[in-house]
Amino acid sequence: MATYTGFVQRIGHKQSQPGAKRAWNLYSVLLEKEDGTTHPWISLGFMDEPPKIKEGDYITLQADNDDQNRLVFVKGTSSKPKNPPARAAKKPAAQGGGGSNGGGYRGKGGSGYSGGNKFDGTGIQNRSNPEDVKRMSYANARDHALVLLNILLENKALPLTGAAGKAGEAKRFDEIKAAADKLTVELFNDGMTLRKLETVSDAGKVDVAPDGGIPEEPKKHDIDSEGDSGSDGDSDDASAGDDGSGDDSGDDVI
C-alpha cells in the first residue's frame, strides 16, 4: 500500500448500459504531481454517488494493487492537506510549421496558411481547432468501423435477417448501415475520451480474457459508499486546531 498526493486532474466514470440487470457506476481518479506529471489511474471502486472531490482539488490518499495489478483506493484514507503547493504551469503546446514566420501553404497574402484558426491573445497561433479535431477523429473512427464491420461480415458474426427477396435485401441494408453507424460512434467516443484505458485490462500485463471485460469489484476493499462518514469534503471542519497536516482522522473527502 502506498500514499498518493496531488491535484485532481481528471475523474473517470464508467457506468452500466441502459437495460442492464444490475446498474453500476465505477469511478477513478488521475492525480497530478507538483511537477506536472501524473500518478497512475487509481480506481475509486463502485459507488452509488459521484465522488465529492472535483477537478483541481489537492488531495492525498492511499491505494493498493488488486489481484489484477490495478491501483485501488483504500477507503478511509483520503484527506485534503492544508496549504497545498502551487500547481505546475501547463507547458504551451509546440507550434507546427507554417504561420507568418514561414513554411506551410502560402496564400494570396503571402503568410503561412492558418486554416482559419485564430490567435489566442498571446501572439501565438492556436492550431488546435476543436471542430477540426472532432471531424478528423470521426473520419478515422468511420474508417476503422468499416474495417471491423467487414471482418464481422466475413466471419458471419453480424446477425442479419435471412428473409429473401427485395424486402429482405432492404432489411439487411438497414441492419448493416446501423451497425456501421453504431461502431463509428463507439470508436469515436473511445478515441475522444480514452475510456478504454480505464475499463479494459492490459493483456500484456495480466492474464485476462481477450475482451478484457469490465473491472470486477475489488475483493479486498470495502467499496460500499454507504459506509461514508458524511464528510462534506471541507478539511477545515475536520482538522481545525490540528498540526496543519490535513489529517482528517479517517473521514474520507472522496
Q: Are residues 7 and 78 in the same domain?
A: yes
**Which amino acid is it at 113?**
Y
Query: Could you read off the pLDDT tens digit of each residue along the chain, which spans 254 residues?
Result: 899 999 999 999 998 888 778 889 999 999 999 999 999 999 999 999 999 999 999 999 999 998 888 899 999 999 999 899 999 887 665 554 444 444 444 444 444 434 444 444 434 444 557 788 888 889 999 999 999 999 999 999 999 999 999 999 999 999 999 999 999 999 999 988 888 888 887 665 544 455 555 555 444 444 343 334 333 434 343 333 344 444 444 478 88
In this structure, are 194 and 136 located in the same domain? Answer: yes
Q: Which CATH number does the domain housing residue 230 bear?
A: 2.40.50
Range of the domain at 166: 130-199
Which amino acid type is present at position 126?
N
Residue 75 lies in a domain: yes
Q: Give domain status of residue 229, yes or no.
A: yes
Cα–Cα distance measured from residue 211 to residue 203, given in angstroms and rounded to the nearest whole number:
9
> Is residue 109 assigned to a domain?
no
Task: Confirm whether 164 is domain-assigned.
Answer: yes
Long-range pairs, 176-184, Cβ under 8 A, ≥24: 176/149, 179/149, 179/152, 180/142, 180/145, 180/146, 180/149, 183/145, 183/148, 183/149, 184/138, 184/141, 184/142, 184/145
Instruction: Determine if the pTM surpasses 0.75.
Output: no
Say if 162 falls within a structural domain: yes
- Assigned C-alpha cell, 231: 464528510
Q: How many domains does the chain have?
A: 2
